[in-house]
Amino acid sequence: MVTTLSELDLSHLRQSIRVAADARASGRHPFGAIVVDASGAMVASAGNNSLPPEGDPTQHAELRAVAEASRKLGAEGMAGSTLYTSAEPCAMCSGAVYWTGIDRVVYALSEHRLLELTGDHPENPTFSLPCREVFARGQRTIAVDGPAIEDEAAVVHEDFWT
């Protein structure tokens, strides 16, 4: 399902994985996301902030990054933007991607692979709902590339969910 990614795509995807590693180092769930505009400039970067007690369960990295990008760029500025994320967006984040006007999503770790890593951990009740299925129900097309470099993305999850 993934097309061949460019070196720039891979660089941005690896940046999202570094953001996930930073989130983990800060004591948060290991997820990271960045948004680049149509020119390829990074306009937003966010780690996960949903871990109790101070975290908000809606503050996934993808949602935070697309919300920040939307505030900075406005609706028209979001045209041609891409979300790069360390893991496939969940149903909630896919909705945020749709509503903020992101045109493309590139993700590293699939929901299926993530579930293998997290198991039934109560802090990550993973949906079995690929982002492509969520986007397919919308009125506009969102291109999706992923999974890609899953082994690299899995490293930040090692020993986290046990």
Active site residues: 62
Strand order across the 104-109 sheet: 42-47, 32-36, 82-87, 104-109, 143-145
d(CA 55, CA 162): 20
Output DSSP code: residue 7: H
- What's the burial of 117, exposed, middle or buried (CB within 10 Å: 0-12/13-18/19+)? buried
- CA pair distance 5, 20, nearest whole angstrom: 20
User: Nearest CA to 87 among 5, 39, 21, 134?
Assistant: 21
CA torsion 20-24-30-35 (nearest 10°) is -30
Q: At what angle do helices 7-25 and 61-77 cross, to 10 degrees?
A: 130
